[in-house]
């Protein structure tokens, strides 16, 4: 059987994930250094996958138009927890199993959310700039104690954010489609309808998957509902927000800041938020710690081997 790897940098870091696969008897074709991304064309994907039985993928697209042209494909093992770029219905129709790497990166993503919170809460960057210029000026900052963090989406990443925010003295609200009463005690959080969460939160973090319901969920109307002087954080997917509307909310002064790690099309070098002084932009690196990246690759590889052995975890299986 032929395995094609398109997940970026799968084979250039820790060698353990690739070594898991090399003893499997699979014919491995490695394209992980070729820069595949969400913007990769269907034709490019087809060229490398046309004879594949198995694939380890990153964020690159698998639309129906591609799935229908890959009669040999039996498994897409996602080196991610997101799945918005895969047409799951097409995979069901054509008997393609899809799985993802739950449990590998949620903590790392939560760290970046908290990094954004602390960036705006303590303004260390501004104080450092003054000190580097020989200016001794002590300013009060807002801190985190007593501030409210609103989590829109309360899956694995949202829960990990809550576990980090509560010890900083933050009140944590969450909104999701299926709230559970036991989470209140387990994570020391409180459920709130979305309108209430937006109105009361000093920081709003988007942690939901990209679906038809969440696409452009954060638009001009939603930003207007947010508490004046609050901060918006998006480490989910670019299309859950309207970047131009976010910039307008920042420039008007209604929002005090934004931390953004995901964009409509990636790589992105022309974000509408570029040059906005109260927007902090990172190049979709929420999961990019050495440990998390290795773990992602390991889980993606192990999922593939488990599939071949007939005992793929239902937790990781999407289709």
Q: pTM, whole model, 2 decimals?
A: 0.91
Query: Domains, the chain, ranges and CATH?
Result: 2-104+289-309 (3.40.50.720), 106-281 (3.40.50.720)
pLDDT at 257 over 90: yes
- What angle do the packed helices 106-122 and 156-165 form, to 10 degrees? 40
Q: What is the pLDDT of residue 145?
A: 97
Q: Which of 31, 79, 100, 284 is catalytic?
A: 284
Phi, psi torsion values for 300, nearest 5 degrees = -60, -40
Q: What's the rounded mean pLDDT across residues 223-235?
A: 98
Q: Is 53 exposed, middle or buried (0-12, 13-18, 19+ CB in 10 A)?
A: middle
pLDDT at 123 over 90: yes
Task: Kindly report, residue by residue over 143-173, the tens digit of the pLDDT.
Answer: 999 999 999 999 999 999 999 999 999 999 9
Using CA atoms, how far apart are residues 220 and 308, in angstroms rounded to an integer? 47
Confidence band of 12 (pLDDT split at 50, 70, 90) = confident
Q: Which of 122, 188, 266, 317 is catalytic?
A: 266
Q: Which of 237, 247, 295, 298 is catalytic?
A: 237
Q: Is 29 a catalytic residue?
A: no
Q: What is the pLDDT of residue 14?
A: 85
Beta-sheet strand order (sheet of 255-260): 190-191, 171-175, 148-152, 203-206, 230-234, 255-260, 279-281
Using CA atoms, how far apart are residues 228 and 202, in angstroms rounded to an integer? 8
Q: What is the pLDDT of residue 38?
A: 87
pLDDT at 108 over 90: yes
148 touches 201 (CB < 8 A):
yes
Q: What is the pLDDT of residue 300?
A: 96
Nearest Cα residue to 85 out of 52, 56, 63, 57: 63
Task: Kindly report, residue by residue over 37-81, the tens digit of the pLDDT.
Answer: 888 999 999 999 999 999 999 989 999 999 999 999 999 999 999
Q: Is 178 a catalytic residue?
A: no
Nearest Cα residue to 304 out of 68, 62, 78: 78
Q: Is 284 a catalytic residue?
A: yes
Nearest Cα residue to 198 out of 169, 218, 178, 216: 218
Confidence band of 13 (pLDDT split at 50, 70, 90) = confident
Confidence band of 112 (pLDDT split at 50, 70, 90) = very high
pLDDT at 131 over 90: yes
Alpha helices in the chain, H assignment, sequence order: 16-22, 42-49, 64-67, 88-93, 106-122, 124-132, 156-165, 182-187, 194-200, 220-225, 243-251, 290-309
Burial pattern 169-180, b for ≥16 Cβ within 10 A else e, equals: ebbbbbbbeeee
Average pLDDT across the chain, whole number: 96
């Amino acid at each position: 059987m032929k395995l094609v790897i398109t997940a970026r940098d799968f084979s250039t870091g820790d060698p353990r994930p690739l070594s898991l696969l090399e003893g499997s008897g699979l014919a491995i074709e490695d394209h992980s250094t070729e820069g595949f991304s969400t913007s990769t064309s269907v034709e490019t994907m087809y060229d490398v996958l046309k004879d594949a039985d198995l694939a380890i993928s990153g964020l690159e697209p698998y639309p129906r138009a591609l799935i229908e042209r890959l009669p040999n494909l039996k498994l897409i093992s996602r080196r991610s927890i997101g799945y918005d770029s895969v047409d799951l219905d097409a995979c069901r129709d054509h008997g393609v199993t899809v799985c993802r790497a739950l449990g590998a990166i949620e903590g790392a993503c939560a760290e970046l959310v908290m990094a954004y919170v602390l960036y705006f809460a303590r303004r260390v960057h501004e104080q450092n700039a003054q000190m580097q210029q020989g200016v001794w000026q002590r300013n009060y900052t807002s801190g985190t104690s007593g501030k409210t963090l609103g989590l829109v989406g309360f899956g694995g990443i949202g829960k990990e954010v809550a576990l980090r925010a509560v010890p900083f003295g933050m009140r944590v609200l969450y909104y999701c489609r299926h709230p559970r009463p036991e989470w209140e005690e387990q994570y020391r959080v409180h459920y709130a309808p979305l309108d209430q969460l937006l109105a009361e939160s000093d920081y709003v973090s988007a942690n939901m998957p990209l679906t038809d319901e969440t696409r452009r969920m954060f638009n001009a109307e939603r930003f207007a509902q947010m508490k004046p002087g609050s901060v918006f954080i998006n480490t989910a997917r670019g299309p859950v927000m309207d970047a131009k509307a976010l910039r307008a909310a920042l420039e008007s002064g209604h929002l005090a800041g934004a931390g953004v790690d995901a964009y409509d099309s990636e790589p992105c070098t022309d974000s509408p938020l570029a040059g906005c002084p109260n927007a902090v932009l990172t190049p979709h690196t929420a999961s990019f710690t050495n440990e998390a990246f290795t773990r992602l690759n390991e889980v993606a590889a192990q999922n593939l081997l488990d599939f071949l052995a007939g005992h793929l975890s239902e937790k990781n299986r999407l289709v």
